Each structure stands twice: as C-alpha cells, then as structure tokens.
Structure 1
Amino acid sequence: MSERQLHRENQSMSMMYGTYADILFVLFPFLVIGMQRLWDGRLYETLMNADLSIAAAILAGLAIGKFVLGLVTNRDLGRYKERIVFFIALTLFVVLGPAIILMLSIAGGAEVPGFVAFVQPVLLIIAISLYSTAVSISNILTRDSERESNTANIEGDSPDIARASRVGHAPLDLPRHTGADSW
C-alpha cells in the first residue's frame, strides 16, 4: 500500500469516527432518557413520545448543514450541485418534515396511534444514514477542492491563493480605507 493510499485510508477512518462521534453526542441525552424509562419499567413510552422524532430532526438539520457546506465549499461543482440539492430536499421531505409533524401531533395531547412506535425509529435510522452521507459528501467535495488547489499551485498560481484554497476558502478581498471617507 502506498503512502498516499495509507493517508487516504487514515483520513477516511478519522472521518468515520468523527461522524459517529457526532451521532453519539446527539443521541446521548435520548439514551439517558430511555435508560431512565427502562429503569421505571416504561420503555414503551419512549417509542410513543416525541424523543426519537426530536433526535431525527436534530440529525436531519445537521445533515442539511453538511450538504449546504458541501454545496458552498467548491464553486466549480458543476453536475454535483443538483445532486446535493436533491439530498437537501430528500432530507427535508423524508425526515425533517415528518419528524416535525410527529412532534407537533404527539405534543398535541391526542391519543398517539400505534404506528408511531414504528415510524419514529425508522425516521431516526434514515436521519443517521443521511447525516453520514452528508458528512461523506462534504468531505469528498472538500478533498476535491484541496486537490484542485494543489494542482493550481503547481501550475504557477500565487502561493497566497493556493494556501487559501487549500483551506477551502477563497481569499478575502477587502477594499482599502483611504481615509477620505468620514462618518
């Protein structure tokens, strides 16, 4: 295995551990609530309360943030922009919308139908999958952006522009203050 492949594999493993650490931190309070309900003998209530929908909505929001980050990181995405917008719409339509509707319906005080015990875990699983996908897409696009900046540096761009694009940001061009303007 070459050094480059080893570096790429280590980077992928770090990304995976970071992604699942994010997911675990989001799910931790809900785990504590579930364990308390298990202790009290009311674990089924976890499935019938809005807890899992709240967790799904949080992860869906984080996924949308990662998709948007991937969308704005590289201006030269071309054909990928539509795919990223599709994933944003999919996250809104499949997870965030139903999770919010379930939260509002459960909080409304009416009797909660039995299918909610099935739908909420499914929403959570889909939200976890979409968040993992969003992190992967965002990192792939950032990595592609870094690769392009390294190529641009080899072709003779200024070191400041290459360094700025390696970080994933365009250089900030601020107008100079001439002193002639007064407040």
Structure 2
Amino acid sequence: MVVGHDMRLYCWGNNSYGQTSRPSTSQPVPVTSECVKVNFNPQTVVCGWEHTVVLDVDGAVHSWGSNEFGQLGDGSEESRRDPQKVHSLEGEKVTQVACGAHSTAAVTSSGDVMVWGRHTLSNLPHRVHLPLKALAVACGFSHAVAVTVEGRLFSWGYNEHGELGHGDTFAGLRKPRQIVHFRSCQ
C-alpha cells in the first residue's frame, strides 16, 4: 500500500483478511488498484502481516484487516475489510505509526508510545513506559524499538535471535530496556 500524491490509498497483493479493502479475499489485488474510498486524508500507511494502519493528516489512526490478536485496536478480535478509526486513541494526536506482524504501535505528540495487539497484553492501545519522550517507534515481527528525543534507543518484545540489540539472546522483554551499545541515535 502507498499514499499517492493525490492523497488516495493504492493497494495490491494478498487480501486474505480484507487488508486491501477489496470485496474478494480469494484473489490477489492487481498493482494498479485503488483502495476503497476513505473519508479522511491519509498521511502515512503501514502494514503488518495481514492488517493495515493509516495515520491521517489530523493525527487520527485508522485500521483494518486481520484482528486475530487485537492488532486493529478496537478492543475486539473481529477482522474487518473497511477502515475504521481507532476510537480509543481519540484525544491523542498521533505523529507516527508502525506495525509488527500482529501488533501496532504509535507515537503521540506528547512523546508517548502506545501499543496494541499480540504480545502487548491488550487489544486496546496502552502506553509503554519509557523514561524519556519518544520521537519514533519501529516494529519487527514480534519486537519494537523506540528512539527518544534525546537519541536513546529502547527495545522490548521477542528476542530469540538477538533482535532487541542487547548483545545476547533470551526469551524477551515485556518492558523497554535501553540499548546501551548506541549512545545517541537520530
């Protein structure tokens, strides 16, 4: 999926859970297809394994596709093919979004990181406790990394292959830990 210069969403590929907003889930969507019309102006689109999340120009988050692990942020586990606003984030202006395979993360204008979906202990957005304000967040398959406004990196989640960046492998972290190998990142 991409946001075009015309502020429309263009999508293609697998649609098994309606993540491209097309009626049929049995056939891949051709490259030139435009997604369903939306009633908001998209700014950024990110995709998980089988879900899609859009940040609009007003700082609201919209999601659709697979919701098996609560990655759509609506408090349910029901998948949907139509974009819906993540109402539990109302009152928060979101500045950035990221998707893991089955989870979603967002950074708010106040520097909070919100997460929901698989391995986050909730299918509703909730704050990740960082000691500093976040600038950005990125997600891997089952882990996340946040960079703070001071340039410090924090990671949490699955770590069987050392993806958290702490120089070792272990089951993982439920709470963020600073990656001390990097003193300052932009």
TM-score under structure 1 length normalisation: 0.21
TM-score under structure 2 length normalisation: 0.21
| Higher helix residue share | 1
